[in-house]
Chain A
Amino acid sequence: MNKRISHKLCLIFISLIFSTLTYGSDKLRVVATFSVLGDLVTQIGANQIELSTLVGPNGDAHVFQPSPFDTEKVAKADIIVINGLEFEGWIERILESSGFNGKLVVASSGIKAISLKGNHQEQEEHEKHEEHEEHGEYDPHAWHSVPNAQVYVENIRAALVQEDPDRTNFFNEQANNYLKKLEALEQDIRITLKNIPKGKRKVITSHDAFGYLAHEYDLQFYAPQGVSTESEASAAEVASIIKQIRKDNIKAVFMENVSDSRLIRQIARETGAEIGRQLYSDALSASDEPAATYINMMRHNINTLTDALK
């Protein structure tokens, strides 16, 4: 008698486990490579997907080293969303080692990439230290322009709809709402920047990540390191930045959330330029800081820049 009951209990238990398992796998498992993409995916998928992000807030995706735990996440994923443009140098390895066979979404596909070499309208100093970069041909930090982010959203939406057609309506509605918010953001940025004369839109940052922001909104950025956070700045680069600050009378020097700030502080001390508040470049901030979502990051960056340039 007892045995029968325990058998039945076992069966119930097993079926329970199974039902939760099938329930769990009902949602798409999506992996985003870094926090900015993670936020964009969340905006569209909301609670109807299971998202994990490899490089979290304030982490540097340039020098990320995947752990076995990350590889496991990738292996189990249905969709993996990457930025592309060789931003995630480690992605090939993790895709291969995990045996991932889901859908790979390159969020930046379809945007107009800025070439690192052909950008001749920029200052000389800029070009010179871009020559020996380890990145690919294009600047990967494309999300710093809102129109590009809209392309990202379209790409992510298309992938989600394709992989989970049952939720097409939900994804479309979410995406459309979010695209409207991005449109509003774009308008705000342009209005905010109108007040600043073009000649004064010059800024120093510690790592050259704002090529798209500069291009889209007519700003000029100078950086002592190249595009990648991996390279060590040479004295020549630091010297040329200092000369530039003196020559053009640049008022503000900014730090980012993913760079060694000592160099920037040294430059500020030497030129008397003011150190602006923190800008967010390659990663969102933790949730208690001002740039926890993509939209907040863009607003924060633009406001910080304009405050310092006024």
Chain B
Amino acid sequence: MLEYLFNPFLEFEFMRRSLLGCLLLSIGAAPVGVFLMLRKMSLTGDAMAHAILPGAATGFLIAGFSVSAMTIGGLVAGCLIALLSGISARKTSTSEDSSLAAFYLISLSLGVMIISLKGSNVDLLHFLFGSTLALDNAALTLLTSVSLITLISFTLLYRALVLECVDSEFLRSVSKVSPIAHYAFLVLVVLNLVSGFQALGTLMSVGLMILPGAISRFWVRQLEPMIALACLLAFAACVIGLLASYYIRLPTSPTIILSLGFAYLFSVVFGRNKGLLTQKTSFN
């Protein structure tokens, strides 16, 4: 039984690389997703994933499938959109979410425009779906540095981030860290999306970020265990996805996100912490 679990990874280097990539991605993206959920910003993750498209597309058109060019492009575009929407929301009377929606839509259409104008529609699909099975050294380096940066920033900003989740008004009134924490957090979101889309593509990397946090909320209440569980779930889903792709020929990235999706549905019904069934019993 165990050999079925290990053999693919022992035999093939590309499987080991994918596994390592997924592990790195899970460590970075899942905690970010937990905080996104706690701050009721889960859809922000999705919006940002669309917002990085024009930057990544520009990078791609200039340098081809170059990890660094696409990463830099995506980062610039993502941060720009986060900043612009943040500023315009604070300076005008528009709410944060409608402002972000407007800006990400502008960004997304710009991305599609850039790709279409160049006339090369070849790679849009590779772009959207990524290639989990072809992580080269550059991609792995990127994934490693992003998860390191994420971990370090979290240790530094942990208290501020937690306070921001609990009572952002209070944090703003007692400390000047609030805007720093907010923007640093948005940068982390963008960073993890950019690195995730090397492996899973722009569409699927959001799933690995949001779903593990959403699932673990159904099982644990405290923050630290929740983050740990989210990381674990994300990584487990990646292993399932890779093995399913190896043994039953399913495409990798949708399988990863779908298995997380099933875990989420299961948790909605059976979750210990306010799942559908447990809620009923608590009423009696």
Contacts and interface: CB of A to CB of B under 8 A. Distances in A.
Nearest to B67: A262
A290 interface: no
Contacts of A215: none
Interface stretch (A5-13, A56-64, A109-117): A56-64
A65 B121 contact: yes
Interface string B1-23: 00000001001111101100000
Interface stretch (B166-174, B226-234, B239-247): B239-247
A202 B11 CA distance: 23
Contact of B245 (A63, A229, A236, A261): A236
Interface stretch (A95-103, A154-162, A185-193, A265-273): A265-273
A263 B122 contact: no
Nearest to A58: B120
A263 B249 contact: no
Given A260-B131, A266-B134, A242 B249 contact: no
B121 A265 contact: no
B252 A235 contact: yes
Given A262-B134, A266-B134, A232 B65 contact: no
Contacts of A218: none
**Which size class do B's interface residues fall under?**
20 to 34
A262 B116 contact: no
B115 to A, nearest CB: 10
Contacts of B15: 235, 239
Interface in B234-283: 242, 245-253
Contacts of B124: 63
Interface string B108-137: 000000001001111111100101011110
Nearest to B139: A262
Most buried by B among A56, A64, A65, A235: A235
A217 B259 CA distance: 45
B249 A262 contact: no
Given A232-B253, A260-B134, A59 B122 contact: yes
A238 interface: yes
Nearest to A264: B134
A269 B122 contact: no
A129 B249 contact: yes
Contacts of A269: 13, 136
Most buried by A among B124, B133, B136: B133
Nearest to B254: A232
Given A63-B121, A229-B125, A265-B136, 5 more contacts: A233-B133, A235-B242, A236-B248, A262-B65, A266-B14
9 contacts: A64-B121, A231-B251, A233-B133, A234-B245, A234-B249, A235-B14, A237-B249, A238-B14, A260-B126
Interface of B: 8, 11-15, 17-18, 65, 116, 119-126, 129, 131, 133-136, 242, 245-253
Interface of A: 56, 58-60, 63-65, 67, 128-129, 229-239, 242, 258, 260-263, 265-267, 269-270
